[in-house]
C-alpha cells in the first residue's frame, strides 16, 4: 500500500510553548502507526529542532519545514536553504503552498528549483497544487493543476518523482470551512494520478502519495481518506487542536 500520511501545517500559529505542549499531547495519546502510515508536523523554522527531538523516538512520526528558499545559498538575508534543513536532519519540506504562491509570489519555475534543491539534500518535498475558486467555477481545474505539475514537477526523473509527496489543496477550501466533497477530491486525485501515469508509467504513479488539503476536520477526515486515490491529508486549522488532529490520524487508511 502507498504511504498514508496525516501532515499538520501549523502555518504562522502557536507560540513555541503552545507548540511544544500540542506535540506533547498528541504524542502522549500513543497512537501506534502502521508500517505504511506517517504523521508529519510542519512547524515554523525556530521550532524545528524541538519538534525533531519530540518525535525522534516515535515510529513514523516526522518533522517538516513549511518552506525553503529556491537558491542554494548566498546573500539572501532571512531565508533558509534546503542544505540548512538537511544539516538539521529535517526529512520533509512543504513546497508551493498556495499562501506562498499568493503572498510571496512564488512561481511554478521557482518551485521547480526548490524541488531540485530538496531532492539534492535528501528532503522529501510535499508539493502543493490546487486551483482558485474562479477556475473551479469555470471547470478549468484540471488544466490549471496539470500546468502546475508540468511546470514544476515533470522535469524530474522517474526515480526522483517517487521521492515526492503531492498535496492537492483547492484554494477555495483552505481555511474556509468549505471542504471539497469526497467526489470532488477523488476525481481530482484520480486525474492527478492519471497524468503522473502518462508521464512516468502506472507503476510509478501508483507509488506516489497524494494528500488532500482544505478544511480537513475531525468529522470529515475519514470519509476523505477512504477515497481510493486520497492518501491522507495536509491539515491546517484542525492540526492546532490535539483532539481533532488525533481523530484525523485515526482516519488514515
Ligand atoms: P486548512 O489548511 O486545513 O486550515 O484549510 C490547509 C492547508 O493550508 O494546508
pLDDT tens for the 253 residues of the chain, in order: 899 999 999 999 999 999 999 999 999 999 999 999 999 999 999 999 999 999 999 999 999 999 999 999 999 999 999 999 999 999 999 999 999 999 999 999 999 999 999 999 999 999 999 999 999 999 999 999 999 999 999 999 999 999 999 999 999 998 888 888 999 999 999 999 999 999 999 999 999 999 999 999 999 999 999 999 999 999 999 999 999 999 999 999 9
Q: In testing the pocket of ligand 1, which one of 215, 235, 237 has its CB within 8 Å of the most ligand atoms?
A: 235
C-alpha cell at 212: 488532500
| Grid cell 544539516 in the structure block, residue | 87
Amino acid 176: pLDDT: 87
Amino acid 32: pLDDT: 96
How would you classify the pairing of strands 92-95 and 4-9? unpaired
Q: Is 59 left (phi over 0), alpha (psi -120 to 50) or beta?
A: beta
Q: Which of 99, 106, 131, 169 is catalytic?
A: 169
**Other beta carbons less than 10 A from residue 14's beta carbon:** 18
Task: Note the maximum CA span of the chain.
Answer: 48
CB-CB contact of 46 with 19 (8 Å): no
Amino acid 164: pLDDT: 98
Quick one: which atom of ligand 1 is closest to the CA of 9? 9
- Provide residues with CB under 6 Å of ligand 1: 9, 169, 174-175, 213-216, 234-238
- What are the residues whose beta carbons fall under 8 Å from the beta carbon of 246, sequence distance 6 or more? 26, 29, 31
Amino acid 10: pLDDT: 98
CA 81 – CA 66 distance, rounded (Å): 12
Question: Residue 215 Cα, ligand 1 centroid: separation in angstroms?
Answer: 6
Amino acid at each position: 500500500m502507498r504511504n498514508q500520511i496525516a501532515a499538520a501545517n501549523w502555518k504562522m500559529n502557536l507560540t513555541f510553548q503552545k507548540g511544544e505542549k500540542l506535540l506533547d499531547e498528541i504524542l502522549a495519546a500513543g497512537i501506534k502507526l502502521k508500517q505504511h502510515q506517517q504523521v508529519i508536523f510542519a512547524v515554523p523554522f525556530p521550532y524545528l529542532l524541538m519538534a525533531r527531538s519530540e518525535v525522534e523516538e516515535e515510529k513514523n512520526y516526522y518533522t517538516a519545514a513549511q518552506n525553503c528558499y529556491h537558491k542554494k545559498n548566498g546573500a539572501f538575508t532571512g531565508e533558509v536553504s534546503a542544505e540548512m534543513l538537511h544539516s538539521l536532519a529535517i526529512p520533509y519540506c512543504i513546497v508551493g503552498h498556495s499562501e506562498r504562491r499568493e503572498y510571496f509570489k512564488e512561481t511554478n519555475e521557482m518551485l521547480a528549483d526548490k524541488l531540485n534543491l530538496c531532492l539534492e539534500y535528501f528532503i522529501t518535498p510535499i508539493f502543493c497544487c490546487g486551483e482558485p475558486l474562479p477556475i473551479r467555477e469555470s471547470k478549468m481545474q484540471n488544466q490549471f493543476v496539470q500546468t502546475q505539475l508540468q511546470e514544476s514537477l515533470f522535469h524530474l526523473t522517474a526515480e526522483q518523482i517517487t521521492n515526492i509527496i503531492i498535496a492537492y489543496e483547492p484554494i477555495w477550501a483552505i481555511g474556509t470551512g468549505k471542504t471539497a466533497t469526497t467526489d470532488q477530491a477523488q476525481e481530482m486525485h484520480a486525474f492527478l494520478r492519471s497524468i503522473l501515469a502518462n508521464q512516468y508509467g502506472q507503476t510509478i504513479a501508483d507509488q506516489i502519495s497524494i494528500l488532500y488539503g482544505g478544511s480537513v476536520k475531525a468529522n470529515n477526515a475519514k470519509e476523505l481518506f477512504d477515497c481510493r486515490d486520497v492518501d491522507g491529508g495536509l491539515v491546517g486549522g484542525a492540526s492546532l487542536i490535539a483532539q481533532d488532529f488525533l481523530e484525523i490520524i485515526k482516519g488514515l487508511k
